[in-house]
Amino acid sequence: MTGYEFQLLSQNGEDGVLAEILRRVGAPGRWFVEFGVESGREGTCVALADVAGWHGLFMESDGSHNHLLHQKYQWNAGVTTLHATVTPERVNELFAAGGVPEEPDVVSIDIDGGDYWVWRALRGYRPRVVVVEYNSALPPHERLVQPPEAATWLGTAFFGASLGALVALGEEKGYRLVHCELAGANAFFVRSDLAVHFPRPDEVQRRGPNYFLTSYGHPTDDTGREYLKV
């Protein structure tokens, strides 16, 4: 899948990978959900809203970012924006408040920490594709997760979940890993009943931190916090 990566309005090569995945699995509803999209200048689903004309829901917790996000989409009847902090306790009610159908085509989760716990808590919705931020600095075959009560991301390498933890969670929920993009920031999962045209999960190349495609990674965390093994 690496050869399909390209950037239009995504942070890295997500636009190209997502386009190819959707070509293979279809997108009958043309519906997305993305949270952690900031101002909407870039994001995993921004091209779906801005270029492809999809319906969808953007959620953002930061007030200033949300103001810009609302301004951008206030005249777009197909896109809803919510100023909300997405937590495991609230994710299902927020999906309902945003009018999300039971089978959205894409759900993108990027909240710099509790991504694993939010996906785990999502119930009653069966997206065709799930894109999740992960911590590529962690050993990819270990199942390590930031504790759910951990504070807001401090800009260090302590955040989120290892790829192994997300792969295991995906399997529990009926999803298969199909790609990790070059920057080592996002992992792509396809619902297992739709994943026949993708490589096996053990054939998907694992990535280390390569943010901005410069081998950059976040600085070491010196607070003594520890990950949970799941």
- What's residue 149's pLDDT? 80
- What's residue 158's pLDDT? 84
Res. 215: pLDDT tops 60: no
Query: Please, are residues 225 and 157 in contact by the beta-carbon 8 Å criterion?
Result: no
- What's residue 43's pLDDT? 97
Task: Quickly state the pLDDT bin for 145 (edges 50, 70, 90).
Answer: very high
What's the average model confidence in pLDDT over 78-98?
97
What's the average model confidence in pLDDT over 46-56?
99
**d(C-alpha 214, C-alpha 223), whole Å:** 26
- What's residue 190's pLDDT? 99
- What's residue 209's pLDDT? 75
Beta pairing partners, 133: 186
Say which CATH class 2-218 falls into: alpha beta
Q: What is the mean pLDDT of the chain?
A: 93
Position of tokens 């739709």?
194
User: What distances in angstroms separate CA 26 from CA 175, 177, 190, 192, 197, one per listed residue?
Assistant: 16, 17, 11, 14, 12
Res. 212: pLDDT tops 70: no
Res. 121: pLDDT tops 60: yes
- What's residue 113's pLDDT? 85
- What's residue 157's pLDDT? 77
- What's residue 151's pLDDT? 59
pTM score of the predicted model: 0.94
- What's residue 214's pLDDT? 54
Sign of the CA dihedral 168, 169, 174, 175? negative
Between 154 and 175, the higher pLDDT residue: 175
**d(C-alpha 203, C-alpha 101), whole Å:** 32
**d(C-alpha 43, C-alpha 37), whole Å:** 6
What's the average model confidence in pLDDT over 122-133?
98
- Strand, helix or coil at 32? strand
Would you tell me how many other CB atoms lie within 10 Å of the CB of residue 3? Answer: 9
Among 9-13, 97-101, 140-144, 217-221, whose mean pLDDT is lowest? 217-221
